[in-house]
Structure 1
Amino acid sequence: MQETWRWFGPADRIALSEIRQTGARGVVNALHEISYGEVWTVEAIETRKALIEADTSLGLTWEVVESLPVHERIKLGDGDLEPLFETYRQSLRHLAACGIRTVCYNFMPLLDWTRTELAAPVPGGGTSLRFNLHEYAAFDVFMLERPGAEEEVSPEVLTRARAWFDASDSADHDRLLAAIMAGLPGAYARYDVLGLREILKRYDGVTRDDVRANFVRFLEAVVPTAEAAGMRLCVHPDDPPRSLFGLPRIVSNAEDIAFVLDAVPSPSNGLTLCSGSLGANPANDVPAIARRFADKIHFAHLRNVAKDADGSFEEADHLAGDTDMVALVRVLMAEERSRRSEGRADWQIPMRPDHGHELLSDIGRGTHPGYPVVGRMRGLAELRGVMATIEALEGSAA
C-alpha cells in the first residue's frame, strides 16, 4: 500500500520534513481555510501543492484530499442545492486539473469524529483519544438538555452520567465541550452548548431516510463529474458509528455502505475503509467488510480501538485493539494484487496511520488531537512490518 500522512497545512505544528522522517511520501491534505460551499480554485490548490512539493529532496506529493466538505444544507436537503452541487463539481474539476484524483469526504450531520476525552492516560505516560458513553450522555441529557436523550441510553449509563454531572464543575463542562468539538479542523463552525442546541433544531423532524435520500441526491449530482474527470470519491464511515444528539448517521455498517455504493454505481463512488470508525461498533467485522467492498476501497485509515461493554471505546495501539489488523491488511494487499493483475495503473491503495497516542516528545506540543508525530509514526512502523511480512509470505504486489 502507498504510505501517506495526514497534514493540516501551514498551520500544522508538524513540519513537512518531519513527515519525510516517518518514511511516508504521500501527503493527505485539504484547504481547511476555505469554508463550506466555496470553490477550491486552481490557484489555491496549486499553491498548496507547490508548498508540499517545494523541497524536492523530501520527495513528498499531495496524493489524497481529506476532506472536500459537504455543505450542511446538502445533508439537510435545504432549498435550491444546485449552486452548492456546482461548487462541489467545480472543485472536483479543479483538483483533477491539478493531478489530485482521490477525495475523501463524509456525510456526518453537523459534527465530524467525536470523542469525550482528548488526553486519556495510557500506561507509561502519554495519552489517547477516548469516547466515554456516560460522559456523552451527561452532555446530551444534562448539559444540552435534548428532549428524549435519556431514552437513548441504558439506565446504568444514565446513572453514571448523572453521577458524573453532579460531581463536575464548569471546567469539566468546558473540557467536555472542547473534546466534542475537536474533530472539526479548519474553517468549520464550532458551537457552545446554546449554539449547538439551536443548530440541532434544523434537524427536527429529519429522519434517517431523509438523510439517505439527500445523500443519494448529492451522489447523483457529483459522481458523474468525478467519473468524467477520472476521480475517486471515497466516503468515510461515521465516527463513532452511531447516531449522536439525535442526528441520523447513515454510514455505520456494511448495510449502510452497500446502500451508498449501490445508490449510484460507478468506479468513482467508493469507500474510505476506516478500521477505527467501523471497529467501534461491536457488530462490525472489519476484515469481512473490507473483503466485501474491496474493489470499491480507494483509501484506507488504519487504526484500532478497544471497546468496553457499555459502548465506550479508546484508541488502542495499531496492532493491539479489537480489530485483527493483520487480517485486514491481508485483505487490502490481496485487492492490490488483483488490481495489478488487471493492469491497472492505480492499483495501489493509499493508506495512512490514523489517530495515534501522544507519546514522548509530542506530549504538550499542541498537535491536532489524535494527530501527533510519534504515535502515528509508531503505528506506521508497525503496519509497515505487517505489510512486509505479508509480502514475504504471500508474494509482492509490486
Structure 2
Amino acid sequence: MRMTFRWYGENNDSVTLEQIKQIPGVEGLVWALHDKMAGEVWPLEDIMKVKEQADRYGFHLDVVESINVHEDIKLGLPTRDAYIENYKESIRNVAKVGAKVICYNFMPVFDWTRTDLFKEMEDGSTALFYEKAKVDSMDPHELVRQTTSNAAFTMPGWEPERLAHIEKLLKAYENVTEEDLWEHLQYFLEQVLPVAEEHGIQMAIHPDDPPWSVFGLPRIITSEAAVERFLQLSNSPAHGITLCSGSLGANPENDIPKMIRRFHDRIPFAHIRNVKVYDNGDFIETSHRSQDGSVHIADVVKAYHENGYTGYARPDHGRHIWDEKCRPGYGLYDRALGIMHLWGLWDAYELEAKRRQS
C-alpha cells in the first residue's frame, strides 16, 4: 500500500506541504488543476508548477484526482468528441510529470452530495452529513445554494461557475436513462483508454456518492454488480476503479471487503474511510475506526493486505476536530489520524503474516 494525501494547492488549501510531510508514510500528493473547468485542456506549464511545489518536499504526483469529465460527454451530445480530444491531451500532459493513475467520475450534474457540511457529532467534532428525507424533498437549487454558501473553499464538483447552469443541465438529463449513461461511458472509455494505456496510466473511476439516484438523475457505479459490469467494458490494463469504502459503504448492502477481495487486481487507487449509516437512510462520516461507523475498516485493510495490495491509498475524508478551520472533509488532523490508524492495521497484518511464515 502506497500512502498519499489529497492536496488542493497553495492558494486553495488550509493544509500545507510542510504539514503533510510530517505525516508518517505519506509519499505522494493526490492533486489536480482545480482552477480548470471540465472540458479544458490542462496546460503543461500549470502542471509543471505543481510538480515544482511537490518536488521541494519529495512528493510524487502519481495520482491525479480528478480530470473532470464534461457533461456533454455524459449526455452523449455531438459536441462530446471535442471535449474527449481535450481530455486525451490532458492525459498526455500529466503523464509528463509521472502520473500513473487518473481518478474520475461519471456522476451527472452533481458529484458528491451532502445536506450538512459541518454536522455536529456527540464528541463535539463535525462532519459531512447526508439527510435522506431532506434530499428526497429538496429542490436541487436549494441544495446548491446551501452547499456553496457554507463553503469557505471552492469544492470540486460544486464550483459556482459550473453550477450556474444547473437549470439547463437538469433539463438536459430529463430523458437520459441509466442505460444511456452506460452507453456514453463506454464511448468515452473506447476513446481515452488507448491513450492512457500508451502512457502507462490507469483510468480509475470513482463510485457514485451516494450510490443511488439523487434528484432523479441516473447513477450507475453503485454496487458490486455495477462494478463487475463496468470492469467488463474493457480488458485494457488502463481500465480500473477507485474503490471508495465510504461512497459504496453508504449503502449497507455493499460488502466492501468482499468487493476488494474480488476486484483487488483492478483497483489502482483506494479511498479508505468510514461512514455511520442510520436505519432511515441518513449517514455521517466518522473516524476511521471500525466501531465508529458501519464499514469494517479493519477488514477492509485486511482484504487489501492479504491480496498483496501495492496500489495507492488515501484516508479520503475526515472529521473536523480540535477547532480546525478547513475545507469540509479535508482537514489535516483527522486525516492524519486516519492514516496512522490504517498504518497500524497494516503493520499488525504484516506482523501476523511473518509469524505464520516462521
Q: TM-score, normalised by structure 2?
A: 0.92
| CA contact 1:111–1:184 (8 Å) conserved in 2 | no
Larger Rg: 1
**2:21 is equivalent to residue 20 of structure 1:** yes
| CA contact 1:111–1:183 (8 Å) conserved in 2 | no
| CA contact 2:317–2:330 (8 Å) conserved in 1 | yes
How big is the shift at 1:113? 0.8
Matched with 1:2 is 2
Matched with 2:73 is 74
Matched with 2:298 is 326
| CA contact 2:72–2:79 (8 Å) conserved in 1 | no
**2:41 is equivalent to residue 39 of structure 1:** yes
Matched with 2:130 is 131
Distance in 1 separating the partners of 2:170 and 2:343:
42
3-state DSSP class of the match of 1:328? Answer: helix
How big is the shift at 1:59? 2.6
Matched with 1:175 is 146
| CA contact 1:304–1:322 (8 Å) conserved in 2 | yes
Matched with 2:216 is 246
How big is the shift at 1:135? 1.6
Pair 1:368–1:176, CA change in 2 (3 A): closer
| CA contact 2:110–2:158 (8 Å) conserved in 1 | no
How big is the shift at 1:325? 1.1
Distance in 1 separating the partners of 2:167 and 2:43:
34
How big is the shift at 1:182? 7.6
Alignment of 1:224-263 (within 5 A): 224-263=194-233
Matched with 2:51 is 49
Q: Which moved more, 1:41-50 or 1:278-287?
A: 41-50
Whichever residue aligns with residue 175 of structure 2, its letter is G
Whichever residue aligns with residue 392 of structure 1, its letter is L
Pair 1:175–1:97, CA change in 2 (3 A): closer
Distance in 2 separating the partners of 1:174 and 1:80:
29
Distance in 2 separating the partners of 1:189 and 1:356:
27
**2:353 is equivalent to residue 394 of structure 1:** yes
Distance in 1 separating the partners of 2:88 and 2:306:
33
**2:316 is equivalent to residue 354 of structure 1:** yes
Matched with 2:276 is 306
Distance in 2 separating the partners of 1:50 and 1:265:
35
Distance in 2 separating the partners of 1:207 and 1:84:
22
Alignment of 1:83-94 (within 5 A): 83-94=82-93
Distance in 2 separating the partners of 1:92 and 1:63:
12
How big is the shift at 1:176? 5.8
Pair 1:198–1:173, CA change in 2 (3 A): closer
How big is the shift at 1:43? 1.7
Pair 1:173–1:85, CA change in 2 (3 A): closer
Pair 1:244–1:183, CA change in 2 (3 A): farther
* Structure 2 residue ranges without an equivalent (≥5): none
Whichever residue aligns with residue 175 of structure 1, its letter is Q
How big is the shift at 1:17? 0.5
* Structure 1 residue ranges without an equivalent (≥5): 145-169, 338-347
| CA contact 1:303–1:353 (8 Å) conserved in 2 | yes
Distance in 1 separating the partners of 2:275 and 2:54:
31
How big is the shift at 1:32? 0.9
Matched with 2:333 is 374
Matched with 1:100 is 99
How big is the shift at 1:198? 3.9
How big is the shift at 1:395? 3.8
Q: Deviation string for 1:277-305 (max 9, x for gaps)? A: 01001210011111111110000000011
| CA contact 2:36–2:42 (8 Å) conserved in 1 | yes
Distance in 1 separating the partners of 2:168 and 2:89:
32
Taking only aligned residues, the RMSD between alpha carbons, in angstroms, comes to: 2.2
Q: Which moved more, 1:100-109 or 1:315-324?
A: 315-324
Matched with 1:284 is 254
Q: Deviation string for 1:15-45 (max 9, x for gaps)? A: 1101112222211000011111111122221
Q: Deviation string for 1:283-334 (max 9, x for gaps)? A: 1001111111111000000001111112111112111211111111111122
3-state DSSP class of the match of 2:275? Answer: strand
**2:337 is equivalent to residue 384 of structure 1:** no
How big is the shift at 1:183? 5.3
**2:187 is equivalent to residue 217 of structure 1:** yes
Pair 1:211–1:178, CA change in 2 (3 A): farther
How big is the shift at 1:173? 9.4
| CA contact 2:61–2:97 (8 Å) conserved in 1 | no
Distance in 1 separating the partners of 2:217 and 2:125:
33
| CA contact 1:19–1:25 (8 Å) conserved in 2 | no
Distance in 1 separating the partners of 2:145 and 2:203:
36
Q: 2:242 aligns with which of 257, 263, 272?
A: 272
Pair 1:240–1:318, CA change in 2 (3 A): same
The list of structure 1 runs, each at least 4 consecutive aligned residues, that deviate by more than 4 angstroms after superposition, is 176-183, 185-188
Distance in 2 separating the partners of 1:188 and 1:21:
34
Pair 1:269–1:188, CA change in 2 (3 A): farther
Pair 1:264–1:238, CA change in 2 (3 A): same
| CA contact 1:35–1:188 (8 Å) conserved in 2 | no
Matched with 1:157 is none
